[in-house]
Copies of this chain bind each other. A is one copy, B any other.
């Protein structure tokens, strides 16, 4: 095994280096040219390999989106952890995560707009609810869990427990809306977030009113039922 100087990590094999070069080229192309205009042949040419070589380390073009998604979630996680430190107010914590998420996905707005269709298909590898996206999804859920847990929020216990998943759902809905945002640098979506966070905060707090217990129960039951739609029949 060859090694590079004295650093402890094993030297990457030739195949691994080729795979890394392909990804670097591909991510650049996606950022610059979008989803449609980025072709496998184009990636191959720019990475100086043949089209077939790409498929040694990448099952499909869609899997590029999967890797992009994973890397973006990792960056959101890191930046959010820094920005959340010391902040206790729920609305402030939620706004931080939403802002960080928007910042980190911004460079890929064009890709997302053109490729959102790939992601929404239930049996696609990049479906946000699918098996192959489990890891980044659970990392985002954990992030939303800390948003709730380390905050001053007081709310019905069961609502509080379901909140991370509900917030994640709102993020997904928001991203769907974001893909159709035609404003410069998606500032309309940013404005929407600034508007929606205090609204959501008020809405959660008002559920403490006994009159609304029924509505809270309804909402939780409905989302629970919706989650089961995609399960296989017994």
What is the minimal beta-carbon distance from A220 to any residue of chain B, in angstroms?
11
Binds B, one of A24-32, A142-150, A156-164, A199-207: A199-207
Which residues of chain B come closer than 8 Å to A7, judged between CB atoms?
none
Binds B, one of A11-19, A41-49, A76-84, A179-187: A179-187
Q: From DSSP, what is the main secondary structure of chain A's interface residues?
A: helix
What is the minimal beta-carbon distance from A112 to any residue of chain B, in angstroms?
10
Q: Does A1 sit at the interface, judged by CB under 8 A?
A: no
Q: In the complex, A152 Cα to B230 Cα: how many Å?
A: 36
Contact B209 A222 (CB under 8 A): no
16 extra interchain contacts, Cβ-Cβ under 8 A, other than A113-B123, A177-B229? A113-B121, A114-B121, A116-B117, A117-B119, A117-B121, A120-B120, A120-B176, A180-B230, A183-B233, A195-B221, A195-B225, A196-B222, A199-B221, A199-B222, A203-B218, A211-B211
Q: In the complex, A65 Cα to B68 Cα: how many Å?
A: 30
Contact B218 A199 (CB under 8 A): yes
What is the minimal beta-carbon distance from A195 to any residue of chain B, in angstroms?
6
Contact A181 B218 (CB under 8 A): no
Q: In the complex, A121 Cα to B209 Cα: how many Å?
A: 40
Number of interface residues of A (CB under 8 A): 48
Chain B residue at smallest Cβ distance from A215: B203
Q: Does A56 sit at the interface, judged by CB under 8 A?
A: no
What is the minimal beta-carbon distance from A193 to any residue of chain B, in angstroms?
10
Contact B206 A215 (CB under 8 A): yes
Q: In the complex, A184 Cα to B229 Cα: how many Å?
A: 11
